Amino acid sequence: MSAFRTILLLCSLAATAPAVAQTSPTLRTDLAVLSGCLRDSGSSPSACIGAVAVACVRAASNDPRGAEAGCARREEAAWRQRLTIALQMTGRRLDAGQRSRLAALQLAWESYVTQKCAFYGATQREALQAGRQAGCELREVAGRAIELAKVLPQAAGRRPQSPPRIIR
């Protein structure tokens, strides 16, 4: 993650409302695919990791190996959007000290992922390195987005279907 992107992330944790991101048509489509998959996956959101990238690679039938890195980065962008929103929502519930710790944790996590996936990529044959490193980053970002989404209150702001009954 670039230093600029990290600074933006840290600033967004302090924001009181999520920023409305300008997204490309491709990213909007990919976000819709992920949302549909996550809605349909029930309690297995990790089954959606690869939903965009696999279809993208299959569509590149003339050079699937060459498309791996680009397709993984494309899906990673959608998961990263979800991760950023989850971090913002989590940060809103925290006091300033806790937000600072969350930002430090996220920065350390980003560093870990960068190092882990670079190492993994470097252990592959040269022709596979870029695709495997991008796939590693995709899996890590998606997993983190799923992890944070689980801790968000799912019923926040919902009213019960019927009023509670008072038992005497």
Segment 107-154, tens digit of pLDDT: 999 999 999 999 999 999 998 999 999 999 999 999 999 999 988 754
Q: Is residue 67 part of a domain?
A: yes
Any residues with CB less than 8 A from the CB of 148 and at least 6 apart, and which? Answer: 83, 86, 87, 90
Q: Is residue 165 part of a domain?
A: no
Q: Is residue 161 part of a domain?
A: no
| Residue 60, Cβ density class (10 Å: 0-12 exposed, 13-18 middle, ≥19 buried) | middle
pTM score of the predicted model = 0.78
Listed in sequence order, the DSSP H helices in the chain are: 3-14, 25-41, 51-59, 64-92, 96-122, 126-151
Q: Is residue 130 part of a domain?
A: yes
Q: Is residue 10 part of a domain?
A: no
The number of distinct structural domains making up the chain is: 1
| Domain region containing 35 | 25-151
pLDDT in tens, 86-109: 999 999 989 999 999 999 999 999
Q: Is residue 168 part of a domain?
A: no
Which among 5, 17, 14, 19 has a CA at the least distance from the CA of 98? 14
